[in-house]
């Protein structure tokens, strides 16, 4: 019987990525850059963030659909 360690490695990598993202989000909320923006610039930034969020979730959805059909880890 062969043991597949790829899922454990990816689990650790994803945990590191998730915790790093939370840390980054908390540390970068109140920065000199954010405090220097005008109301108009903040609105532009808000619209841009919404667009990037939508693009990200489209990528998550497409990746999920791809993995449902491809199943690259089915042997693990």
Residue 2 confidence class, pLDDT cut points 50, 70, 90: low
Interval 41-70: pLDDT, tens: 999 999 999 999 999 999 999 999 999 999
Residue 71 confidence class, pLDDT cut points 50, 70, 90: confident
- Asked whether 55 and 47 are in contact (CB, 8 A), the reply is no
> What pLDDT shows up at residue 31?
87
∠ CA(46), CA(51), CA(52), 5° rounding?
A: 95
Domain chopping of the chain, boundaries: 6-70
Percent of the chain with pLDDT over 90: 61
- Asked whether 9 and 75 are in contact (CB, 8 A), the reply is no
């Amino acid at each position: 019987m062969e043991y597949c360690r790829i899922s454990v490695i990816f689990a650790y990598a994803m945990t590191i990525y998730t915790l790093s993202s939370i840390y980054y989000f908390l540390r970068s909320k109140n920065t000199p850059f954010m405090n220097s923006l005008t109301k108009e610039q903040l609105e532009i930034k808000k619209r841009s963030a919404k667009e990037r969020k939508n693009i990200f979730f489209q990528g998550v959805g497409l990746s999920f659909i791809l993995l449902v059909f491809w199943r690259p880890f089915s042997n693990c």
